[in-house]
Chain A
Amino acid sequence: PPQTPVRAAMDVIQQLKMTLHSASDRPSEALISYFNNCTVNPTEDIIKRVEYLGNVFKEKFAEALGMECAEIGYQRFNLAKRLYFRVMESMLKSEEKRLSVQNFSKLLNIDTFHTSLLGCSVEVVMATYGSSGSILQTGTTHAETNLSFPWILHIFKLKAFDFYKVIESFIKVEPCLTREMVKHLEGCEHRIMESLAWQTDSPIFELIKQSREQEGQTEQPEPTSS
């Protein structure tokens, strides 16, 4: 059939569903093996975190769109959860190849890493449906455009700078992202770099401070500039 805007939008959603249909909504054997290789096994924390953030997401989704949309929120999060585990596995395989190590205990026990990765997965799912909203007008999608980035940062209480850290690796290891989705994630990066990362409570200021202190230990101090 001829390609129309409606068909293109539906194809993008269908493609996401097809990709994630074969993915599991729980850690795969390969992931469990990575978890077991850790000095501190992160499995329990990972499962609890996903459950907690899933409840937060579903509650906020229904709050924004109405209780009649609670089931849709459940479906959206379920897709995001599958994407999260799929991308995590690919990231770890890529890191194993690059670093020749199998113990990722430190990374896998960092809360912000997981919350950012799950947040990015949610954003991909929401943007896939949201971008089709103006075309398909299925009833919920119009309202869902209000739930686009940076909505996920607010509901997951996630710092923009931490979210920024996962985007590039996410794009590198997930081959099924469409051109439009890569552009969308790049747009999120730009918003973070241009404004969101510079908000008062951003961790970027502590990093700059630490960086200056390290420089100060190895180099002659420079005159203070305005």
Chain B
Amino acid sequence: YAVSGSVWQKRDLSWRVESFPISLSQEITKQLIESALLAWSRESNLRFYRTTAEDADLRVSFLGGPHGDGYPFDGPGGTLGHAFFPGIGASAGATHMDADESWTYNEATGTDLFAVAVHEFGHSLGLTHSSAENSIMKPYYQGTVGKHQNYRLPPDDVEGIQALYGKLSPSLDATHDSITTAHLTLFSYTGRKIVHPAEKAPPAPTQRFVPPRGPTYRPGLPHPDRCSAHFDAVSSIRGEVFFFKNRYFWRVQATKQLVSLNPAHLGHFWRGLPPDLPRVDTVYERGNDSKIVFIAGTNYWVFKDTVVEPGYPRSLTDFGLDTDGVDGAFVWKHNKKTYFFQHNRYWRFDEQHGRMDPGYPRDSNLWLGLPPDVDDVISWTDGHTYFFKGAQYWMFRDGNVEAEPDSPHSITLNWMYCAVANPPEPTQLPEGRDQRGCTCHC
């Protein structure tokens, strides 16, 4: 067994169920919760009593999807529940079950609420996950444990709970037996509250604060969601593909593996961009010296590796571009020339000679199958050219100037590895309002 390092400083703990699943009656749910707690109190000095008070020590809720604690639920299967370790704070003692599971008990089908509740209460009492063969604290759901009335904790978990709260003392044994009987009689629930002797003296709260674990214990920064982002710029740098959105970016390696599902912060990796720069329009790796060019508005910066060169920003007029910016830029591997795109036009720049090729701009519909106003373009290590716009991309095989017939494809599906192929269109609604126009009060 393994312990979290925090315990309840009292032995009498109150509990209540704050919300219920739709697949089980409230009465059955309360019976199963009470029985799950009994599994732990039977082996230790702990005693549990049900209360209707909102400040109960252990609070069980059935919740769906994201619910504000950093551990979003994911519908049927996947994550089933979680509980917070003992300590002071709003979350301590909270036990959350995924409301979207098909909760059952003592059945081969569905998810056994009793088995999951015993596991989660182990966390509520201070135990962490165990790798022991038969432990109820193994992190993976192991199916039903049979009739809850007959359930006894495996030896590993008995040792764990006794290490935290001591063995059931003989003096309390008789009391515990009567409580046990009382609990069991409640399986034909009367709704009456168990009045426990410990209720006479209010339990003293623990003084130790233990922050919630997992995704929430690292300070989070608000960042865009890769699955709904329409990217500002996409760039092929050193064989990887960088997707930029606002002041963040994602990296996809040559193996097409996302380095991280969370984006990295632009200004802390690419050093030297203005701290108030809201976004970049395009980025490309120069063909002649492998330096990296960032373009935003009518300015550009040249980077040697990840640090900006002195003397920047400079104006796009250096390239002979007399525009108010560019949408995309890339170096085409088939002629080593740099292409700039804006709206329905494109230019070809000769980096070797530092001048724009004559005869440009041209109409971008010379790239057959390409929509106007692309977001960006890359020429990747596989030799193909990819144009990105919105949530889609168009592939031009090898040196072809005609899109593959099955284009466009989904960026979110094939590059960002999201479950949904088509994210919603960007909205002009202010922050806090969703696509349906509903105001969020969370």
Our verdict on whether A and B bind, yes or no, reads: no
- Which B residues lie at the A interface, using CB under 8 A? none
Residues of A within 8 A of B (CB): none
